[in-house]
Amino acid sequence: MTPALFITDLDGTLLRDDSTLSVRSSEALQRMLAEGLPLSIATARSIVSIREILGDLPLTLPVIENNGAFLSDLWTGEHFLIHDLPSHAPEEILALGIDHGCRPIVSSTDGRNDHLTCEGARNEGMGWYVENRSRYRDSRYREVSDIREAFERRVTCLTFIERQGVLERLHAALHSHLDGRLMMDLYENRYSRGWWWLTVQDVAVSKGHGLRALAERLRVDPANTVAFGDASNDIPMLEAAGHAVAVANALDEVKAVADEVIGSNEDDSVVGWLEGGC
């Protein structure tokens, strides 16, 4: 049976190590999408960042952004699904962050407009992030004197950027105090080595939930989907898909849940698989 939906992660999967889509992949995807390939994206990135990376690639299906916090139209920005934190949670998370010497970047939305709020760069890792948003003229980003201003909107994610040890201790504290109420992801930023990120979201947020929500919207059986990934946050999506594909550079735990392991992201292997498997 021909799959009714294909979903791929971006960084480390569809994209090369320099966070770009190769010319070969871009040209092949342009052709396959024009021929009707039912392809979507599932990423920790926002739609703003997805557009920056993929340019004018004609994706027509909703995309899973911010690890599944949103199911969105890539071009209009309309959110078909929003998973935000319970209203009391941001204050509790912030308090624990402050106890560990950390201040977050807060992602929030009023349902129509999305916001990135920060009290400014407190270290080089945050400086990389701020410079990156400035370079792309991201209109969502704003610096404030009190991060609690963002809590007046629907908060979808708090992101802490610090050294590994600091964030491991904060992760443990959050797990102890808010066990079962949060979805957390702790990882090193592949583009700013030595600086780690801890993202804190509602427990309902995952790429797996995003895949199921997208499949339901499109009236597709999740068993008739194919998903591609490389990192730990891709595991729920791979487990939800009918056929799970890991790239060669994926983490061992990702390969362990995959039905198939293909070549690396540097070899445009996702596009190669789509060309041969569709």
Alpha-helical segments (H) within the chain? 23-34, 47-54, 89-99, 124-135, 164-177, 207-218, 235-240, 252-257, 269-277
DSSP secondary structure code for residue 11 in this structure? I
**Pairing of the two strands 5-8 and 39-41:** parallel
pLDDT on residue 277: 67
CATH class for the domain made up of 5-82+206-277: alpha beta
Helix axes 89-99, 164-177, angle to 10 degrees: 140
Contact 53, 63 (CB under 8 A): no
Round the average pLDDT of the chain to a whole number and report it. Answer: 96
Contact 186, 152 (CB under 8 A): no
CATH 3.40.50.1000 spans which residues of the chain? Answer: 5-82+206-277
Q: Which of these, 53, 43, 52, 48, lies nearest to 22 by C-alpha position? A: 53
**Average pLDDT for 128-153:** 93
pLDDT at 162 over 90: yes
Contact 84, 155 (CB under 8 A): yes
What are the tens digits of pLDDT across the range 67-123? 999 999 999 999 999 999 999 999 999 999 999 999 999 999 999 899 999 999 999
pLDDT at 136 over 90: no
CATH class for the domain made up of 89-202: alpha beta
CATH 3.30.1240.10 spans which residues of the chain? Answer: 89-202
What are the tens digits of pLDDT across the range 260-276? 999 999 999 999 999 98
